[in-house]
Structure 1
Amino acid sequence: MHNFKISHARTFVSTTRTSYLSWIMSPPSFSAPKRKAIEKSISPPPLKRKVKSNISEGAVASFFTPTSQKPKERTTWTERAADDDAPPTLLVGRYEPENLEKPDPTKRNKIAAFDLDSTLITTVSGKRFGDSPEDWKWWNSSIPSRLRQLYAENYRVVILSNQAGLVLHPELKPKAPKGGSKNKVVNFKQKCNAILAQLNLPTAVYAATEKDIFRKPRIGMWAEICRDYGLGEDEVDLAGSLFVGDAGGRNPLKSQGSTKDFSCSDRNFAHNVGIPYHTPEEYFLDEPPSQFSRDFDLESYPYPAEDSSSTGNGDVVFEKTNKQDIVLFAGPPGAGKSTFYWRHLKPLGYERVNQDILKTRAKCFKVAAELLSGGDSIVIDSTNPHSDGRKEWIELANNYNVPIRCVWFKAPKVVCEHNDAVRALNKSLNPESRTILPALAFNSFYARFKEPRAKEGFQDIVEHDFNFSGTRDEYDVWARYWN
């Protein structure tokens, strides 16, 4: 009986195996329910293109490695402030290669400085600025070897970048975005870590995050480089150094098929420092120098010659023609109104009424009335762009039976913006501690401005074209590009 069961089981398995193999080799046909014929083929959905990562697999694996087992991070990050009373706004990453055990003993007095975006790197995605730390590639494949060659030729290689999208400490900046600021900084550091690791040179990246002294074309980052590498002001070989950046003020013809540069800040930065400038195309691709233009050109405002006018500074001479009167200023912020008062009207005995100091227009009228009652002549040091606002001062003059004169400050907007930046960023030229004005302040003035006319009720109108007024040392500060 036992043997019969075994034999029967073997027969069943053998039969089943034969049937299964037969089914595999010749599967039965099934009649599917009829469907309406599809006339058009349906293509599979398009494959999503992935951004090629520049972060190595080793870096990804390192993320999951315990901290105690990770290799030493080669980039050291620090933050710098423009002055002791300000929050840090400059982010600095200094990279030391793994094979460099001792500090570089070479005194490298030639500096090769490069902008980052659209100069050393560009995005893989095609966006102007990458959202993720891996969305980057070299602007040209020759760049790493070119920078290594510069280092071999005893250049100090550094990266200088304006990064207004980064906020280092959002809690210290009321208008900073509440979310995402920290992630942007982290992503930027990760991207720079990858870039510096691929270069593998003793180098550093400097990122200016605010519109302060560190932002190009201002030279705050250059000063930090010199300080970090122990270079005195007279030790840098300026003629042998260089700066490469894409913001060169290029404005090609439409027929040439190229786009206009968004600014001239990189070219102006090199001018301020006193080193040669190149666009990426000129330096890495050996293209000929491009045509360029500046909205504001310092060459149009040289230091005035001593015989340019009776004042020696190119200023219009202002004469006091009345025993008591009101002088009303009209002109944009940054046109030199306050400087004109201190140099020419204060010595003539005029008292100043300024809304930046008094804060409200009502208080300006109150103080002006008190000074007129006391027999003083006064200057209304404000912009007064429109005839409606000027009318109120004319009525005040009529009420006190004194003449009112107007000084019209005729200065282009780019000059006023330049003057405003010079004043705000240089304490020696800013006795009233004024902060830099937003673009809205200038745009608003020029949108509302109406030229002053004698028929409004002025005794006369003195037109004042802007000319620099000051000492040679002050001019040396003024005659840099600040925007």
Structure 2
Amino acid sequence: MMITCKLISTDHSIPDQIIKAGQTLIIGRNQQCKIKNLFCSRNYCKIQLLSNENKLLVEYLKDDRTVQMKSGEFINGPGFSYRICMIHDSKNASTMAHVMNDEISWTELESGNVMIGSLFGGYDCKSDKIAGFDFDFTLVCTKTGKSFPSDENDWKLFDPRLTGFIQKLVKQQGYRFVIFSNQLGISKGKVTVDMVRKRFENSMKDLCIERIPCLILVATKDDIYRKPCIGLWNHLVRNIQPDVEINLKQSFYVGDAAGRSKSALKKADFSASDILFAMNIGVNFLTPEQFLIHVAKYNGFDYQQKFEYSSSLPEKCFKVDDKTKESNFLLTNRLTGEKIPNIESILPTRVHCIIFCGISGSGKTTFYENYLQPLNYVHVNYDQLKTIQKCQQLMKKSIQEQRNIVIDNTNIERKSRQQWINLCKENGYEWIIFHFELSLKHIFHNNKFRQLTGIHKSVPDVVIYSQNKKFESLQDDECNRQFIVNFNQKFSQHDHQKLYSMYLLEK
């Protein structure tokens, strides 16, 4: 395995140096190193790469002192400072490009769903403490004052102090500087990949003028990588530095999308994606303004200080927790209030039809799959059959065969429920109504989960709003056996269960 070491200079005027196994490098005020400080001798120290030990042997020539140093440590002297970065070619063929190039080196994942940028060795600078930042209106803002940049040159630093503050976090406190950015405009065709990359490249050279290592993770589509989902974070901890356990208590994330309301000085935040991203991960969250005040006051990041979140999350933001659900029963008798733990205890003994009633996304089809499909019910579903006529034909065919039936449609209006009730009456079938009664924000949460996982087809938000507006409450005279379904999701994959328990809606 070939090992190469790059000495990354913290001074932009002093070039980086490369050492290969078996080579020797003299650091000093010489033509190769270009160190200007007069207190630095021309032959200050001699460096050799010990490839077998994955270390540098540093010999200080004035006093014959010799030390061994490893990746991540700093070689310091009069007028210079280098950070040691070991490069293992067989581990990652693109690593050399990440470190050697002073331009941002880009790679892609998932057919372009994620772009990964590395500047000044940012891909390889591991740490158990993450200093995470959003990009737009956190690190940079537009020079034009527009909400969206007009081109790759429409940027300026959000605050000129950011360069010094981030340098302090990385070099003095040992943080890894990582940018997590949503760039949905790429997949929508509003901006090009080239424009987004150039805007990062133009601005990051200014922000990282002291050659601060930076890793950039960009989500280009509305999927599990887009904040507030934590796909970008998971890629960092699982794939980029899987051998380093993150200290969540000392890590933090800074972003402008905090769900803040409009004030006299500032318009309302466009979403709450950043604060929810931090909450889903479990790290500290600060707005850009809070970050600047905090670092200036405490001379760095002090995780022991209490962080006040003044923002009130948008009403639609929703998280399923233990208070949201009860799991010790399955149904509630709508007419008596009795809680039913077992579905089979309330099913008629003779042929019957169960009529579902509930807005799209309230869990009807999932309930059928979990509880009624194993009991061999015929599934009458509009989404599958596409027309009411075909639904009616399947029900009539099932009645002829004397089979139990489930009408898995929204049935939000009384007349839509009545058509199935009439067919039951005409053919001597008993009927039961199951009402899937969830809050709108819970339904939107379910719908987003559908989109992210592809388990069931999601529906446009406008359809959910329309169905909610048209919904006609169940009346006692429609059926003498009415039950409210206690929504309790089951999962076939552990990752799906973790995803479902997070904030998924950004606004």
TM-score w.r.t. the length of structure 2 is 0.67
Relative to structure 1, the CA distance from residue 426 to residue 184 in structure 2 (aligned partners, 3 Å threshold; closer, same or farther) is closer
Task: Give the deviation of 1:398 after TM superposition.
Answer: 2.8
Report the Cα distance in structure 2 between the residues aligned to 1:298 and 1:354, rounded to whole angstroms: 29
2:214 aligned to which of 181, 194, 203: 203
User: For residue 117 of structure 1, what is the aligned residue in structure 2?
Assistant: 136
Report the Cα distance in structure 2 between the residues aligned to 1:299 and 1:344, rounded to whole angstroms: 22
Report 1:280-299 matches (<5 A): 280-286=288-294, 289-294=308-313, 295=315, 296-298=317-319
Aligned-pair identity in percent equals 28
1:237 aligned to which of 243, 247, 260: 247
8 Å Cα contact 1:453/1:461 also seen in 2: no
Aligned CA RMSD, in angstroms, stands at 3.1
8 Å Cα contact 1:315/1:469 also seen in 2: no
8 Å Cα contact 1:208/1:215 also seen in 2: yes
Unaligned runs of 5+ in 1: 1-70, 82-86, 168-175
Deviations 1:16-72 (A, max 9, x none): xxxxxxxxxxxxxxxxxxxxxxxxxxxxxxxxxxxxxxxxxxxxxxxxxxxxxxx96
Report the Cα distance in structure 2 between the residues aligned to 1:406 and 1:228, rounded to whole angstroms: 49
Task: Give the deviation of 1:292 after TM superposition.
Answer: 2.7
1:377 maps to a residue whose letter is N
8 Å Cα contact 1:251/1:291 also seen in 2: no
Deviations 1:210-249 (A, max 9, x none): 11111011111112223553234x7122222111111222
Q: Secondary structure at the match of 1:285?
A: helix
Deviations 1:335-355 (A, max 9, x none): 121232234334555332222
Report the Cα distance in structure 2 between the residues aligned to 1:95 and 1:138, rounded to whole angstroms: 17
User: For residue 230 of structure 2, what is the aligned residue in structure 1?
Assistant: 219
1:95 maps to a residue whose letter is L
User: For residue 189 of structure 1, what is the aligned residue in structure 2?
Assistant: 197
User: For residue 158 of structure 1, what is the aligned residue in structure 2?
Assistant: 178
User: For residue 480 of structure 1, what is the aligned residue in structure 2?
Assistant: 502
Relative to structure 1, the CA distance from residue 410 to residue 299 in structure 2 (aligned partners, 3 Å threshold; closer, same or farther) is closer
1:396 aligned to which of 413, 423, 436: 423
8 Å Cα contact 1:162/1:208 also seen in 2: yes
Task: Give the deviation of 1:127 after TM superposition.
Answer: 0.8
Deviations 1:283-331 (A, max 9, x none): 112397242333344365448677x4489xx976541135122111111
8 Å Cα contact 1:110/1:238 also seen in 2: yes
2:108 aligned to which of 62, 74, 79: 79
Q: Secondary structure at the match of 1:193?
A: helix
Q: Are 1:96 and 2:107 counterparts?
A: no
8 Å Cα contact 1:115/1:159 also seen in 2: yes
User: For residue 447 of structure 2, what is the aligned residue in structure 1?
Assistant: 420
Relative to structure 1, the CA distance from residue 472 to residue 205 in structure 2 (aligned partners, 3 Å threshold; closer, same or farther) is closer
Report the Cα distance in structure 1 between the residues aligned to 2:431 and 2:441, rounded to whole angstroms: 30
TM-score w.r.t. the length of structure 1 is 0.70
Unaligned runs of 5+ in 2: 1-99, 298-306, 332-338
The structure where helix makes up a greater share of residues is 1
User: For residue 449 of structure 1, what is the aligned residue in structure 2?
Assistant: 471
Task: Give the deviation of 1:424 after TM superposition.
Answer: 4.1
1:144 maps to a residue whose letter is T
Relative to structure 1, the CA distance from residue 305 to residue 358 in structure 2 (aligned partners, 3 Å threshold; closer, same or farther) is closer
Report 1:11-410 matches (<5 A): 74-81=103-110, 87-96=111-120, 107-152=126-171, 153-167=173-187, 184-198=192-206, 199=208, 200-227=211-238, 229-232=240-243, 235-251=245-261, 258-286=266-294, 289-294=308-313, 295=315, 296-298=317-319, 301-302=322-323, 308-309=328-329, 317-318=342-343, 319-321=346-348, 323-410=350-437
Q: Secondary structure at the match of 2:436?
A: strand
Report the Cα distance in structure 1 between the residues aligned to 2:342 and 2:440, rounded to whole angstroms: 24
Q: Which stretch shows the higher mean deviation, 278-287 or 150-159? A: 278-287
Report 1:430-469 matches (<5 A): 430=455, 434-455=456-477, 457-468=478-489
Equivalent residues, number: 379
The structure where strand makes up a greater share of residues is 2
User: For residue 6 of structure 1, what is the aligned residue in structure 2?
Assistant: none
1:365 maps to a residue whose letter is Q
Report the Cα distance in structure 1 between the residues aligned to 2:239 and 2:203, rounded to whole angstroms: 21
8 Å Cα contact 1:331/1:383 also seen in 2: yes
Relative to structure 1, the CA distance from residue 251 to residue 352 in structure 2 (aligned partners, 3 Å threshold; closer, same or farther) is same
Relative to structure 1, the CA distance from residue 299 to residue 401 in structure 2 (aligned partners, 3 Å threshold; closer, same or farther) is closer
Q: Secondary structure at the match of 1:335?
A: coil
Q: Secondary structure at the match of 1:298?
A: coil
Deviations 1:415-434 (A, max 9, x none): 1121233344347xx3xxx2
1:405 maps to a residue whose letter is I
